[in-house]
A and B are shown apart, each in its own frame.
Chain A
Amino acid sequence: GAGVSQSPSNKVTEKGKDVELRCDPISGHTALYWYRQSLGQGLEFLIYFQGNSAPDKSGLPSDRFSAERTGGSVSTLTIQRTQQEDSAVYLCASSWNQGNYEQYFGPGTRLTVT
């Protein structure tokens, strides 16, 4: 079946603009995660959804970052007033449920802020 998909695959934006990143999880997966991966670095946890609710937003780096998930499926990560330090690959993952299940990652969105 289809895996996790993300769009766009690449996004170049000017500093100060807002961007929206989209994630389509695997059908039936109730848990959804967003991570940020800077060049050559590890995976930085941003936010986690169980269904439509986000019990843990502690990883969001600033109030310029927000995320929502509607209908328990598609999620969007919004970055307002982008800064150059926001440049990174943003990875989405989904899992069958919360509680220690394998996370299936999407291909990521490479964001470049000029």
Chain B
Amino acid sequence: GENVEQHPSTLSVQEGDSAVIKCTYSDSASNYFPWYKQELGKRPQLIIDIRSNVGEKKDQRIAVTLNKTAKHFSLHITETQPEDSAVYFCAASTGGFKTIFGAGTRLFVKA
């Protein structure tokens, strides 16, 4: 069945450094790739998304890249801040009928 693998499961960085989270997906029909941030005890919230007709998208300190050939997409956070500490989930969707999430990456930003 469809699968999304996410790495690393835990990531610890110093404040100001960059953080990179990588995901691979199995369903070649996937065409929408959102990233959600879940702070402790809170609900997941969308932070950025990318569609299959785009290779890269940026929003301030956050960027996402997509390699459809390799079925691989990544989240890049630059100039990390303590408030970036959270669990980040990648996901892959095919026309919205089903969204498969990765297992999550717990990011710690040390002040």
Contacts and interface: CB of A to CB of B under 8 A. Distances in A.
Interface of A: 31, 33, 35, 41-45, 48, 55-56, 58-59, 91, 95, 97-103, 105-108
A100 B98 contact: no
Interface string B97-111: 111111110000000
A33 B44 contact: no
B43 A100 contact: no
Nearest to A89: B43
A103 B34 CA distance: 9
Contacts of B93: 100
Contacts of B101: 35, 42-45
B104 A41 contact: yes
A43 B97 contact: no
Interface of B: 1, 6, 31-32, 34, 43-46, 49, 51, 89, 91, 93, 95-104
A100 B104 contact: no
Contacts of A41: 103-104
B100 A105 contact: no
A45 B99 contact: yes
Nearest to A6: B43
Given A42-B89, A100-B32, A102-B49, A58 B96 contact: no
